[in-house]
Amino acid sequence: MDTHKSAGIRTRYAPSPTGLQHIGGVRTALFNYLFARSAGGAFILRLEDTDRSRSDPAFTQNLYDTFNWLGIRWDEGPDTGGPRGPYIQSGRFSLYRQYAHDLAGQGGAYYCFCGNERLEALRKAQEAAAREGGALQSGYDRRCRDLPLNEAKRRAAGGDPYTIRLKIPLQDPEGAALFTQYTDRLLGTITWKNEDINPDPVLLKSDGFPTYHLANVVDDHLMGISHVLRAQEWLPSTPLHTILYRAFGWDPPEFCHLPMVMGQDGKKLSKRHGAASVDAFRRQGYLPEALINYVALLGASYEEGKDIYTLQELTEHFSLEKLNKAPAVFDYKRLEWYNGQYLRRKTGAELAALALPFGEGLFKDSPPGPEETAAFIAAMPLIKERINLLAEIPEKIGYLFTEPPLPPPAEFFPKKSDLAQTLRLLRIGRDLVRPLATAAEDEAESLVKERAAQAGVKLGDLLMPLRVAVTGARISPPLFGSLRILGPDRALARVDRALAALSGAG
Ligand code: GLU
């Protein structure tokens, strides 16, 4: 495969399918996507499924579903046969193997014959020495590093199990310690003493599978990745990757380690803080637009005083200069606020289409019949301003589908009213049910105002017992709209039930 360096900015999201997609991963993907799009470059998806025991097709499916739902599209990938499919590392193992052997042949890596047993014993000895106050030594002791290549190749060819390890250069020819330096686009210049880097990490495992480091570096090079935007947990791997690029004779890409995403307790965002998987947010009725908008602000600042950004606008605004160094704090309330904003921008029909799957528990039949569906759609404008999550809908409009339990008498009383006065108000209200349930929206208000004036009662007082009788609660979505949806007969039956209960309560 040719490299694509000439093609300008190329970024990638390179998840391992070992868990559900969560907020942190989506933020990484989104920033890579926005950066590529903002520069007219390409954004690719690469599945890093080198750890076969932890990779699971269910997680791969979750990845596709998540990005499909979010509307974040990647650009290419021949491995799946589709032009937009992702690259999949498990289909490329022989390639990595070849690169590892080539590097060993050139002296940038070496064959290691230390088996698990020896490595385990080494680790134990190191731990014991550290406990006794010795120098803290950890990792591989580089025993096979200086085996002559011919001998190593002969042993390997003879069937001795081996790994291939990166040979991290420690000293220059004069014996001076070597350092590795790279410039992170956000964090600045970072220098590591080579001796402090994980000693000679494995590139190719004894089963012939590549490690993350090898496959990641080979692919970033072959795929012409110009910028690696990734989570800060990968920061310790970057000096090692830089050495590996140089060992191959390749230029490393530019690195940018993204600000951490924390929970409000200052700890790394995780399940402990509540929903962190995108799936869980989706099931609660978050909209993809809201999630994208909020996540794009985690660790980046765009325009002062502007909160709402579409994906398209974000593409126009995004640049690496707008990233913050400080960790971002994930605020569930803020995300909920965003969701409310996006819900209010939907038309009634759009909202109904999104909300219908959340209404299942409300309906007699599944799928709901035409009447129930019509009632559900009609209810959307009544609640649009009152919800932040689609999952709140059933609880808000349940009374339109099932008669609510009858509240105790005192619930019906307007402020400062007694039972007798409440009964009087509800009787007046009863006479209004039919006209209100059939009146046009703009006539209802004047109708009740007139009647309240005639009876010499406050409008609010007149409506309170009627509201409680019809909706089952003192606070509810708009009463007139509710009456129109219920229709006069069902509404009257509820009022009569309340009247009977109140009459018997005295
Ligand atoms: N496969 C790594 C992950 O799961 C990729 C890290 C990187 O971006 O280099 O996050």
Whether pTM exceeds 0.85: yes
- Do 357 and 221 share a domain, yes or no? no
Domain of residue 174: give its range.
95-204
How much is the pLDDT for 77?
75
* Helical ranges in 345-487 per DSSP H: 348-355, 370-383, 393-397, 419-438, 441-455, 459-471, 479-486
Name the closest-CA residue to atom 6, ligand 1.
Answer: 14
Beta bridge partners of 46: 87
Answer whether residue 470 is part of any domain. yes
216 lines ligand 1 (CB under 6 A): yes
Specify the residue for token string 């000693």.
Answer: 199
Ligand 1, pocket-test mutation among 10, 11, 16, most atoms within 8 A of CB: 16
How much is the pLDDT for 2?
38
**Domain tally, the chain:** 4
Percent of the chain with pLDDT over 90: 88
Q: 256-278 b/e with 16+ CB inside 10 Å = b?
A: bbbbbbbbeeeebbeeebebbbb
Percent of the chain with pLDDT over 70: 97
How much is the pLDDT for 3?
42
How much is the pLDDT for 83?
65
Name the closest-CA residue to atom 5, ligand 1.
Answer: 14
Distance CA 17, CA 34 (A): 22
- Do 396 and 466 share a domain, yes or no? no
- Do 466 and 394 share a domain, yes or no? no
15 lines ligand 1 (CB under 6 A): yes
Answer whether residue 74 is part of any domain. yes
Name the closest-CA residue to atom 2, ligand 1.
Answer: 15
Ligand 1, pocket-test mutation among 55, 234, 255, most atoms within 8 A of CB: 234
- Do 107 and 164 share a domain, yes or no? yes
Name the closest-CA residue to atom 3, ligand 1.
Answer: 15
Q: What is the mean pLDDT of residues 435-464?
A: 95
Answer whether residue 263 is part of any domain. no
pLDDT, one tens digit per residue, over 212-270 is 999 999 999 999 999 999 999 999 999 999 999 999 999 999 999 999 999 989 888 88
49 lines ligand 1 (CB under 6 A): no
The domain spanning residue 108 has which CATH number? 3.90.800.10
**Residue 399 pLDDT exceeds 50:** yes
234 lines ligand 1 (CB under 6 A): yes
> Residue 259 in contact with residue 286, Cβ under 8 Å?
no
Answer whether residue 157 is part of any domain. yes
Cα(343) to ligand 1 centroid in Å equals 34
pLDDT, one tens digit per residue, over 272-312 is 887 679 999 999 999 999 999 999 999 999 988 899 999 99
pLDDT, one tens digit per residue, over 156-173 is 999 999 999 999 999 999
SS3 301: coil
Residues tagged active-site: 271
Distance CA 279, CA 22 (A): 8
pLDDT, one tens digit per residue, over 64-93 is 999 999 999 999 876 656 667 799 999 999
pLDDT, one tens digit per residue, over 4-40 is 444 599 999 999 999 999 999 999 999 999 999 999 9
230 lines ligand 1 (CB under 6 A): yes
- Do 365 and 437 share a domain, yes or no? no
- Do 443 and 358 share a domain, yes or no? no
The domain spanning residue 219 has which CATH number? 3.40.50.620
How much is the pLDDT for 245?
98
Estimate to the nearest angstrom the gap between the alpha carbon of 122 and the chain centroid. 41
Distance CA 182, CA 118 (A): 34
The domain spanning residue 398 has which CATH number? 1.10.8
Estimate to the nearest angstrom the gap between the alpha carbon of 466 and the chain centroid. 44
Before 148, cis peptide (omega within 30)?
Answer: no
Final residue before a domain boundary, out of 358, 377, 402? 402
Answer whether residue 433 is part of any domain. yes
11: left (phi over 0), alpha (psi -120 to 50) or beta: beta
| E strands, 39-113, in order | 42-47, 87-88, 109-112
Answer whether residue 439 is part of any domain. yes
How much is the pLDDT for 78?
66
Specify the residue for token string 């000679």.
Answer: 200
- Do 396 and 408 share a domain, yes or no? no
- Do 109 and 83 share a domain, yes or no? no
pLDDT, one tens digit per residue, over 93-115 is 999 999 999 999 999 999 999 99
Q: What is the mean pLDDT of residues 437-461?
A: 94
Distance CA 111, CA 148 (A): 10
> Band of the pLDDT at 336, cuts 50, 70, 90?
very high
What are the Cα distances from residue 432, in Å, to 63, 130, 136, 438, 466?
A: 54, 85, 85, 10, 9
Final residue before a domain boundary, out of 204, 226, 243? 204
Cα(279) to ligand 1 centroid in Å equals 20
- Do 368 and 427 share a domain, yes or no? no
Answer whether residue 394 is part of any domain. yes
- Do 223 and 363 share a domain, yes or no? no
- Mean pLDDT taken over the chain: 94
Answer whether residue 495 is part of any domain. yes
3-state helix, strand, coil in the chain (%, to 5): 55, 10, 35
